[in-house]
């Protein structure tokens, strides 16, 4: 009766080359999990980054690509592990190199076909070339053009409009401190959401200007006369002489006519004027039969 051979332990069944294959696979898998692929909100590829520091523009892990990475790694490790069982290190080296090269080529093909189908990324209406980083924006006249080309087109289109808007002026050469009348003799409307007025109030004292307040608000400058109320001016009645520095900026002009036209103002439209304000006493005779019955009122009158 023959003696049975002793069972081979799991440890003795794995040679040194197989251990190195498993160790290398574990290290690569850990790196793949620590630096996973990310994707933009639209699903396009957003690059690789540390798992605790995701890209700002691509906050979602691309689980499909991560799954393909781990499956591909598992197949490669399995093939190398099996191949290293009964062959010499020289033979395994040649086979492994051929298999790795084939796997890399296949991975690149699958990556380009499924994960990176576009040569650009698109965020908030702006396309960026993946390889060059050149940014493109949409133009109604030319389609997708670079940001530099779009800026040149905007400057050329805005130039005659800005020259037209330079006709805007303050209508009242003399008026109350809390009102200013802006005359717009053009056919361009400066819309409320894209137009801002900034008024700086100064008190003139001892030959220098002391800043009192800066007030900002949105407004609309329509064709014709525009009576603009300056509420902060009432706060400084009596702080005279008062100086008002008025600045109006606008980024978009809308054409008024048979066809609505919107033009981006590059550079933005800028209107700057200043007014000097002083208190003026006005006497009013209440009773024609009593010349001594006179009422005196005070107003702060500003002059351009």
Residue that wins the pLDDT comparison between 86 and 230: 230
Q: How far is CA 43 from CA 47, 62, 63, 73, 278, in A?
A: 12, 8, 11, 24, 63
Q: What is the CA radius of gyration of the chain?
A: 38
Task: Give the sign of the dihedral formed by CA 102, CA 104, CA 106, CA 108.
Answer: negative
Q: Using omega within 30 degrees of 0 as the cis cutoff, is the peptide bond preceding 50 cis?
A: no
Q: Using CA atoms, how far apart are residues 273 and 302, in angstroms rounded to an integer? A: 12
Q: In degrees rounded to 5, what are phi and psi of residue 248?
A: -120, 130
Lowest mean pLDDT among 82-96, 163-177, 233-247: 82-96
89-122 pLDDT, tens digit each: 555 566 666 666 776 676 666 666 555 556 667 7
Lowest mean pLDDT among 161-175, 216-230, 249-263, 281-295: 281-295
Residues 6+ apart with CB under 8 A from 114: 64
26-61 pLDDT, tens digit each: 888 888 888 888 776 655 667 778 888 877 766 778
Give which of 235, 219, 231 is closest to 271, Cα–Cα. Answer: 219
132-145 pLDDT, tens digit each: 778 888 887 788 88
Lowest mean pLDDT among 172-181, 231-240, 248-257, 285-294: 285-294
Burial 194-212 (b: 16+ CB within 10 A, else e): bbbbebbbbbbeeeeeeeb
Angle, alpha carbons 123-126-130 (nearest 5°):
80
Could you tell me the pTM of the whole model?
A: 0.56
For residue 222, what pLDDT is reported?
Answer: 92
Angle, alpha carbons 87-91-93 (nearest 5°):
115
Q: Are 138 and 124 in contact (CB under 8 A)?
A: no
């Amino acid at each position: 009766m023959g003696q049975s051979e002793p069972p081979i332990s799991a440890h003795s069944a794995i040679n040194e080359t197989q251990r190195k294959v498993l160790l290398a696979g574990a290290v690569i898998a850990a790196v793949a999990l620590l630096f996973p692929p990310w994707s933009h909100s639209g699903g396009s590829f957003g690059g690789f980054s540390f798992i605790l520091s995701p890209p700002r523009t691509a906050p979602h892990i691309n689980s499909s690509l991560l799954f393909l990475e781990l499956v591909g790694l598992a197949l490669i490790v399995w093939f190398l592990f099996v191949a290293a069982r009964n062959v010499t290190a020289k033979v395994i080296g040649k086979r492994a190199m051929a298999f790795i090269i084939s796997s890399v080529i296949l991975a690149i093909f699958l990556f380009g076909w499924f994960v990176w189908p576009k040569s650009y990324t698109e965020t908030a209406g702006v396309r960026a070339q993946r390889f060059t980083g050149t940014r493109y924006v949409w133009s109604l006249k030319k389609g997708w053009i670079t940001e530099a080309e779009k800026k040149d087109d905007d400057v050329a289109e805005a130039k005659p409009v800005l020259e037209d808007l330079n006709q805007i002026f303050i209508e009242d050469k003399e008026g109350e401190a809390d009102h200013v009348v802006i005359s717009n003799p053009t056919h361009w409307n400066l819309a409320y959401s894209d137009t801002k007025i900034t008024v700086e109030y100064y008190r003139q004292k001892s030959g220098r200007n002391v800043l009192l307040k800066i007030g900002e608000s949105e407004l609309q400058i329509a064709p014709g006369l525009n009576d603009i109320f300056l509420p902060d001016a009432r706060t400084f009645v009596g702080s005279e002489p008062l100086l008002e520095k008025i600045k109006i900026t606008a980024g978009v002009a809308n054409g008024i006519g048979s066809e609505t036209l919107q033009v981006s103002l590059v550079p933005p439209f800028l209107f700057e004027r200043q007014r000097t304000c002083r208190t003026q006493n006005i006497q009013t005779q209440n009773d024609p039969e009593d010349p001594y019955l006179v009422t005196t009122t005070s107003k702060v009158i500003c002059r351009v």
